[in-house]
Amino acid sequence: MDMTIRSRRLRSTPVLRKMVRETRMDASSLIYPLFVREGENVKEEISSMPGQYRYSLDRMPEVLNEMADAGVTSVMLFGIPDIKDECGTGAWSEYGIIQKALRKAKKEVPDLYYITDVCMCEYTSHGHCGILSGDRVDNDKTLPMIAKIALSQVQAGADMVAPSDMMDGRVSEIRSLLDQHGYTDVPIMSYAAKYASAFYGPFRDAAGSAPSFGDRKDYQMDYHNRLEALKEVKQDCEEGADIIMVKPALSYLDIVRDVRNTVDLPVAAYSVSGEYAMIKAAAIKGWIDEDQMICETAAGIYRAGCDILLTYFAKEIAGFMREGRIG
């Protein structure tokens, strides 16, 4: 048999396979989501996310230094307040949990890059992502509150803000208020294509942010829809978003690729709590090779077109990149 083309030639050695690898990644593209809470000397494991913890502010520098030592340079902070109210006022308080965490983090571990989630669900007594009018979130009443939260976080030291509320017009509202106060260089990473997903379950357990009634399907996207994602992305780009995020990741790789092919901005994907929990649960049962599964899923997300990956496996993935197993 005379075969001129043999695709296996380029798979013959580890050096050659890495030389011709199409998908490249490094630890600088990883963001670690971190839960901070009130209290002292607290490192509390999240039952639905084995290996992930809620940290009090005095214990927070431990995990920040772990990330820095692993080569993970960026962290996204999620706050868990002691007190909630109807309007989520703790989200923009100067003495709110995120604002205090930012000041401490910037002082204790100043070399990391700090991103903040901008939303109200952790802070409202009803668990929804905005101001209620009856039993619905009022989009236009919520917008100034979302912008106010973003401003308070930047004033406390946030390097980037990431609105996750899915209100129409939020990126424009945030950009305008930040610019008015002189924060023209602070980027916005928009949760542009955020789907109403069952994969968020463990996060809501971790952050205590499940809605007390109804669901979030009238502001988060229907998972049947593909073109709608591009509509949302286009709107956020026009309003001034600097980075576009798709959330969740694994079940939405087609959306990641669509967005990558559509925009000229960096594309982020959030591998969410349910994705993490599935891998951990199967690994605990001995049904999968955890390390191999982490590597394969991460590579798949990047291969789909992601430039930036938010993941609870950030430290592990950084290690695998350093070892040359992926990247």
pLDDT digits (tens, 9 = 90+) for 116-130: 999 888 888 787 777
The pLDDT of residue 213 is 59
Give the angle 14-17-22 at the CA atoms, nearest 5°. 145
Q: What is the pTM of this model?
A: 0.93
R_g over Cα of the chain:
20
Provide the CA 287 distance to its chain's centre, in angstroms. 27
Where in the chain are the domains? 23-323
CATH class of residue range 23-323: alpha beta
280 is catalytic: no
Query: 84: pLDDT confidence band, cut at 50, 70 and 90?
Result: confident
Query: What pLDDT shows up at residue 214?
Result: 57
What is the CB neighbour count within 10 angstroms for residue 58?
14
Q: Give the mean pLDDT of 174-183.
A: 96
Question: Is the pLDDT assigned to residue 103 strictly greater than 70?
Answer: yes
Q: What is the mean pLDDT of residues 135-148?
A: 90
| Catalytic position from the list 100, 194, 280, 315 | 194
Looking at residue 243, its amino acid is: I
pLDDT in tens, 187-202: 999 999 999 999 998 8
Grade residue 215 by pLDDT with cuts at 50, 70 and 90.
Answer: low
Q: Which residues contact 290 (CB under 8 A, 6 or more apart)?
A: 279, 280, 282, 283
Number of residues assigned to the chain? 327
Reported as a single tens digit per residue, the pLDDT across 66-81 is 999 999 999 999 999 8
Tell me if 76 sits within 8 A of 117, measured CB to CB: yes
**pLDDT on residue 204:** 74
Distance, CA of 146 to CA of 91 (rounded, Å): 9
Catalytic one of 84, 247, 280, 315: 247
Indicate the average pLDDT of the chain. 92
Encoding tokens for residue 291?
């390390």
Residue 47 neighbours by CB distance under 10 Å:
10
- Numbers of helices and strands, H then E, in the chain: 11, 12
Angle at 235 between CA 164 and CA 253, to 5 degrees: 65
Mean pLDDT of 167-182: 95
- Annotation marks residue 106 as catalytic: no
